[in-house]
Structure formats: C-alpha cells, structure tokens
Amino acid sequence: SAENVQSEASPDNLAYVIYTSGSNGQPKGVMVQHRSAANLAAALHDEIYSGQGSALKVGLNAPLAFDASVKQLLTLLYGHSIYVLSEELRLDVEQLLSYLDQQALDALDCTPSQLKLLLAAGFDSQSRRVPKIMLIGGEALDESSWSMLGENQRTRFHNVYGPTECTVDATWIAVQDAPERPTIGR
C-alpha cells in the first residue's frame, strides 16, 4: 500500500526493555514506556540542548546495550545527527581525541573515569576542537574533577544521574552552575 501506516502506539505502550544487574547483582528487565522516553527527550532538549543549534552532532559513546545510549538516540527526535563511536574508538583515548577533533562533535556523553583519561591525554588543549556539551554520568564525580570542570569555559559539563528504572537520567546539573562541590542536581 502507498498509504501511511496508522500507528496505534500510545504513551502507555512499551518503548523498550533493557536489562540491568540492579543493586543486588541479579539481572532484571526494566520495561520503559513511550511516555518515559518522550519525557527524557523533552527534558534533555529543554534543559541541555536548547539554544545550542538546530542540528547538533551528538556522539553516542555508550554501548547500545546500556541505557546511557538511549539519551543520545532520543536526540534524533529533534533533528540532531548521531555519531556512533565503536568500541575500539571508545577504548583508545588518543584515537578518540582525534575523532572528536576531526568530526567536531557538539555533544558527547561519558563516564567520569573516561573523562579523566581524556583530560590526561590533552582533551582540553586549546589546539583541539572539543564538544560544547558533555554529559557525565554512570559514576560519581570526585571533588577535584568537579572543581576543574567548573572552571572550564569551552565545554558545558552536565552531571547526570538516574537509575535505569527512571529512564536513564532523573537528575542533572551543569557543573559550572554549582562549582562548590559535587551534587546530582535537580
């Protein structure tokens, strides 16, 4: 048929199931509804990506099996481009820095431990192009990293936190807005 398929999906329908070990180490499937994914997409758009341009280059740094990848995939709803980073690229900090520079990505997510490796390898060198936006999550940011990121003027660092059951990120804060000490935000 040449007709558009009618969608019968509602906000209550299941969007995806993702598996997590949870707090007790036992694998469990977390069911996420469309409404939850749409809420995350809108919050990220309104609070983090808004005002940054209409067609951002967003790096998908988390493996697709992890919920952190969902927040980057959702940026497609707002017309942004996704650059999927391979496992090989994610594990080689020098190669990753080169890629970030060549592709001129606008946004990237990573863990604090990966960020420390990037910073130690020269991420913030004035000769490099760095993302305007960094979403840091998956682990707690230590006080010295928090202070250093809070002074950065080239990249807006956002500390994000949330259990899988809350659709990836439930809280966030721009590190530069709270330079005193680490916090999970609001």
DSSP string computed for 90-111: HH-HHHHHHHHHHHT-SEEEE-
Q: How far apart, in whole angstroms, are the C-alpha atoms of residue 92 and residue 127?
A: 20
For the stretch 127-158, pLDDT in tens is: 889 999 999 999 999 999 999 999 998 999 99
Q: What local confidence, expressed as pLDDT, does residue 51 receive?
A: 83
* pLDDT surpasses 90 at 23: no
User: Which regions of 41-94 does DSSP assign to beta strands (E)?
Assistant: 57-60, 81-84
Report the distance separating Cα 44 and Cα 63, nearest Å. Answer: 19
**Percentage of the chain surpassing pLDDT 70?**
99
Residue 86, both tokens: 């391979």
Q: Please give the pLDDT value at position 72.
A: 94
Confidence of residue 87 (pLDDT cuts 50, 70, 90): very high
Tokens of 27: 């694998």
| CA dist 85 → 94, 119, 132 (Å) | 14, 18, 18
What kind and span of H or E run contains 172?
Answer: strand 171-174
Closest alpha carbon to 124 in 87, 85, 84, 97: 97
Q: Residue 13: what pLDDT?
A: 97
